[in-house]
Structure formats: structure tokens, C-alpha cells
Amino acid sequence: MNPATMLRVHDAIEHCAEDCARSFEACTRTATHCLELGGRHAEAVHINLLLDCAEICRTSEAVLRRGSARYSLICWACAQICRACAADCERLSGGDRVMDECAAYCRRCAESCEDVAA
């Protein structure tokens, strides 16, 4: 791999790790927010998806930052879970800023993870 390609790969990995960290924070914050809202926002399926997303994002960030050879596999899984979480947050949002932000961070993370996993 030539130096320019190595730099692009390193930059993509770093960008993805940062997006994973932001998505982890957003999902964690949103889970608390949803529990406070109650009702359909606090249903177990939704809360579990938020927590699953937070955990896979945290794992993906760690795998990327330590340079694991298995980052592609983990990032692929992260992208799938982030897409599901973004869709669920959008479904429940109703214009709620916290829900909309979570969906946006999850979508951004999914895109970054898909780029890195490819």
C-alpha cells in the first residue's frame, strides 16, 4: 500500500472511531431520555436497541483505535445496528430533538462504518 493510500485509510479509521464515540454518547443519552418520557419511548425493544447500539459503537471504537485485524467485521455489524437504531428513533421522534439527534449520529456512524468495512 502506498503512503497516500495508507494515510486515507488511517484518516477513515480515525473518522469512523470518532463517529462511533459520538453515536455511543447519543444512544446512551437517548436511552435515559426515553425512560424519562415513558410510554412507547420506554418500551423494552426500543431501549434494548439503543443499548445494543451504544455497546457495538463503543466496541467498534475500541477495535478501530487498537488496530484490530477484525475491525471490518465489527464495523459491518455496527453499521447494521446503527441503521436499525436510527430508523427506530425516527419512528418514535415526533419532532423530539434528542431523538432526531440520535438518529442523525447513528446514521453518520453507519455510513462511516460501512466505508471502513468495505
Residues 19/109, Cβ–Cβ less than 8 Å: yes
Average pLDDT, integer, range 67-93 = 96
The residue range of the domain holding 53 is 3-117
Number of domain units in the chain? 1
Q: CATH code at 90?
A: 1.20.1270.360
pLDDT of residue 91: 96
Residues 6 or more apart whose CB falls under 8 angstroms from that of 82 comprise 23, 53, 56, 57, 106, 107, 109, 110, 113
pLDDT of residue 12: 86
Residues 6 or more apart whose CB falls under 8 angstroms from that of 113 comprise 16, 19, 20, 60, 75, 76, 78, 79, 82
pLDDT of residue 9: 61
Q: Which amino acid is present at 99?
A: M
pLDDT, one tens digit per residue, over 7-52 is 566 788 999 999 999 999 999 999 999 999 999 999 999 999 999 9
Give this prediction's pTM. 0.91
